């Protein structure tokens, strides 16, 4: 395979001797000394710190190169502007990207060198979920730190209210002095404000699904000549935003929401060679043979027919090649952004987060698409690199249960701000220091989109996943699903009827009830979030639920 840079416009590189000096600075003994000094909260001087830890010749070599760099690049020319202890934040967000599209999550068939590097530089999260696995609702979760029943925002339910947006992370960070930039699919509108362009210092966002053709995205059109496909145009936007923020000497929060790999499949043709003719290993739960133990309710939505409609059954390799090719484009854009952080001298003070708004089912259990609670749909990649943290560079993985509601509190914590009381999520910053701990016992996964029979609430813990499929009718009866995700991540065995797991079942029922109680207590009184407090209740009889099922769900255009 060709190296990534062969497909890209040449990016200016530092000249060779500067690279050499940088490589000396990154030697393990120098890095170790730097970390020791950091732990003691002392300024780091490589000249004094490495003395006695490297050989005399190594020390002289380092000193020589340091002097050369200092003469030709005096600190005022390329150094990061003073910004106290507040880091910059880069939040990178894919659309419909599952964990098995990323190499560092174990798929050897895919090429994601930049995503892998980000994960290995930082921390890879193994149990990260979107609390709702569909575009609009998930984006509202991320921005506000709240479950869907508090954002009041999803397709078929309604737009976001201005008072909810007023406590979203971009607003709060800008109020705190951050330079804020956004590009890509905003994903929702705020009543009376639309896309909220005026709440950002730099804007490359667009309405609806946005377009794969860069020139069709009005706010991004200036990048179209060089990057006609939108994915790399977002890399270029990110580079410009970083340069602008550095010029203004402000800490910055750059949020980019890529359109890829959302269907309709439209990969950048410059990457056509990456997966041409490739055969992909199918997941261990691929196909309808692995669907018999899943509820009939979960088969009422469009996910079940899409296994065939989207040809996972007959043309798996071709479908996956274009899917992974779109992810490859994002990977290149991630590299463009990280290179710019280095060029501007701010990489050491910038936290980079990479994740997706929902996962994607590509033939697992004979389904396609998203929305449902199954792992391929609800669980997504999450890599966070905070170069100042103890987990950085140690190739660590975190198994704590985390969710998309955690981003807003995390970004605020990074900026030294307290999360408002309305937020349901928790800061992930403690995990960056100690990935072995937990930040919560359980969390909810929500689906109130699609046919009402397929709606459901799920309780998650680090080990277990419990879903109550409440709907009765058309030959269906309410049914429970219990999966041991730690031992059975492919969800091949529903343990709800297994006598050996009665205790686990009962424990998860209680956690489910607690999540539902929170729903009833906190759900907004508008946009149709109240009735699910009754429909999802395990103790309420069907005859009380049935009248609530006749109410139609909204008529919005669904994507």
Q: Which residues bind Ca ion (CB under 5 A)?
A: 95-96, 135, 357-358
CB 312 to Ca ion: min, Å: 18
Distance CA 329, CA 269 (A): 10
Nearer to Ca ion by Cβ, of 131 and 358: the residue is 358
Nearer to Ca ion, 95 or 515 (CB): 95
Smallest distance, Ca ion to C-beta of residue 357, A: 4
Contacts of residue 491, Cβ cutoff 8 Å, sequence gap at least 6: 285, 365, 374, 375, 465, 483, 485
Q: Give the chain's largest Cα–Cα span.
A: 84
Shortest Å distance, C-beta 147 to Ca ion: 17
* Closest to Ca ion by CB, 65 or 258: 258
Report yes or no: 342 and 78 within 8 Å, Cβ to Cβ: no
CB of 95 or CB of 268, closer to Ca ion: 95
> Residue 465's beta-bridge partner residues?
460, 483
For Ca ion, the nearest residue by Cβ is 135
Query: How far apart are CB 436 and Ca ion at their closest, in Å?
Result: 31
Would you say 209 or 296 has its CB closer to Ca ion? Answer: 209
What residues are paired with 224 via a beta bridge?
none
Shorter beta-carbon distance to Ca ion: residue 186 or 469? 186
DSSP state of 27: S
Which one, 112 or 257, has the nearer CB to Ca ion? 257
Residue nearer to Ca ion on the CB measure, 259 or 465? 259
> Residue 174: CA atoms inside 13 Å, Cβ hemisphere, count?
18
Coil, strand, or helix at residue 47? helix
Q: Give me the least distance between CB of 372 and Ca ion, in Å please.
A: 13
Shortest spacing between CB 212 and Ca ion, in angstroms: 15
Least distance from Ca ion to the Cβ atom of residue 137, Å: 10
Q: Where are the beta strands (DSSP E) in 372-507?
A: 382-385, 396-403, 443-447, 456-460, 464-469, 479-484
Closest separation in Å from C-beta 96 to Ca ion:
4
Token pair of 263, please?
């269907």
> CB of residue 205 vs Ca ion: minimum separation in angstroms?
16
C-alpha pair distances (Å), 413 with each of 144, 346, 392: 14, 19, 18
User: Cα–Cα–Cα angle for 28, 34, 37, nearest 5°?
Assistant: 140
Q: Which helix (H) or strand (E) holds 361?
A: strand 361-362
Kindly write down the DSSP assignment for every residue of 87-117, as one continuous string. Answer: PEEEEEEESS--GGGSGGGT-TT---HHHHH
3-state secondary structure 394-416: CCEEEEEEEEHHHHHHHHHHHCC
- Give the residue with the Cβ less far from Ca ion, 135 or 202: 135
Yes or no: say if 344 and 400 are a contact pair by the CB < 8 Å rule.
no
């Amino acid at each position: 395979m060709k190296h990534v840079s062969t497909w890209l416009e040449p990016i200016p590189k530092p000249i060779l001797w500067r690279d050499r000096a940088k490589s000396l600075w990154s030697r393990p003994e120098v890095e170790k000394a730097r970390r020791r000094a950091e732990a003691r909260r002392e300024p780091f001087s490589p000249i004094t710190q490495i003395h006695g830890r490297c050989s005399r010749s190594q020390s002289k070599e380092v000193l020589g190169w340091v002097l050369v760099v200092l003469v030709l690049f005096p600190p005022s020319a390329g150094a990061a502007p003073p910004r106290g202890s507040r880091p910059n934040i880069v939040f990178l967000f894919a659309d419909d990207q599952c964990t098995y599209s990323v190499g560092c999550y174990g798929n050897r068939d895919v090429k994601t060198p930049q995503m892998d590097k980000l994960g290995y530089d930082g921390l890879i999260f193994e149990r990260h979920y979107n609390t709702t696995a569909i575009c609009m609702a998930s984006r509202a979760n991320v921005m506000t730190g709240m479950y869907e029943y508090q954002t009041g925002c999803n397709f078929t339910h309604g737009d976001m209210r201005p008072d909810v947006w007023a406590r979203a992370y971009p607003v709060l960070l800008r109020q705190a002095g951050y330079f804020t930039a956004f590009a890509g699919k905003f994903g929702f509108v705020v009543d009376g404000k639309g896309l909220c362009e005026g709440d950002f210092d730099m804007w490359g966002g667009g309405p609806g699904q946005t377009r794969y053709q860069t020139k069709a995205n009005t706010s991004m059109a200036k990048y179209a000549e060089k990057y006609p496909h939108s994915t790399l145009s977002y890399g270029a936007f990110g580079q410009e935003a970083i340069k602008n923020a550095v010029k203004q000497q402000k800490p910055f929060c750059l949020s980019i929401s890529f359109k890829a790999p959302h269907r309709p499949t439209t990969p950048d043709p410059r990457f056509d060679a990456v997966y041409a003719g490739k055969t992909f290993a199918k997941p261990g739960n691929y196909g309808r043979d692995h669907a018999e133990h899943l509820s009939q309710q979960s088969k009422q939505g469009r996910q079940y027919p899409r296994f065939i409609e989207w040809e996972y059954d007959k043309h798996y390799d071709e479908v996956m090649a274009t899917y992974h090719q779109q992810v490859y484009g994002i990977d290149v854009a991630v590299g463009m952004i990280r290179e710019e952080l280095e060029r501007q001298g701010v990489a050491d003070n910038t936290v980079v987060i990479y994740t997706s708004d929902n996962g994607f089912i590509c033939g697992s259990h004979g389904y396609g698409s998203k929305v449902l609670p199954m792992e391929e749909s609800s669980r997504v990649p999450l890599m966070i690199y905070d170069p100042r943290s103890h987990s950085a560079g140690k190739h660590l993985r975190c198994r704590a249960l985390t969710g998309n509601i955690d981003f807003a509190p995390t970004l605020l914590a990074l900026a030294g701000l307290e999360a408002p009381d309305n937020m349901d999520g928790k800061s992930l910053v403690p995990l960056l220091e100690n990935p072995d701990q937990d930040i919560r016992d359980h969390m909810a996964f929500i689906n109130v989109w699609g046919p009402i029979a397929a709606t459901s609430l799920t309780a998650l813990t680090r080990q277990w996943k419990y879903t109550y499929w409440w709907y009765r009718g058309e030959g269906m009866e309410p049914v429970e699903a219990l999966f041991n995700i730690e031992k059975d991540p492919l969800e091949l065995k529903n343990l709800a009827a297994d006598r050996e797991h009665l205790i686990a079942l009962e424990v998860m029922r209680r956690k489910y009830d607690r999540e539902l109680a929170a729903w009833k207590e906190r759900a907004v009184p508008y946009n149709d979030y109240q009735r699910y407090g009754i429909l999802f209740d395990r103790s309420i009889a069907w005859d009380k639920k049935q009248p609530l099922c006749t109410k139609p769900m909204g008529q919005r255009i669904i994507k």
